[in-house]
Amino acid sequence: MLKNLLSQFICFTNKKLCPCNGIGRYMSHCSNWWKDGSGDVLFFRDEYADAFENWARV
């Protein structure tokens, strides 16, 4: 269930925040980052990383 929820979140996030081939203003999405089918990775841009970390703590 959690894996499915995370997959849906990444799909939604990718469509909304990474519209140009997985690259967006705030983050970038890399599908199959480890090349073994184990998962995707979201990278936050340096300029926004601190803001996202502070938001996540709230």
Does residue 9 register a pLDDT over 70?
Answer: yes
Q: Could you read off the pLDDT of 18-29 as tens digits, one per residue?
A: 777 777 888 888
The secondary structure element, H or E, covering residue 29 is: strand 27-30
Q: How far is CA 56 from CA 14, 24, 50, in A?
A: 18, 19, 10
Q: What is the pTM of this model?
A: 0.54
Position 54, amino acid: N
Q: Three-state SS for 40?
A: coil
Is 29 in contact with 13 (CB distance < 8 Å)?
A: yes
Rounded mean pLDDT of 33-51?
A: 84
Domain ranges (residues) in the chain: 2-57
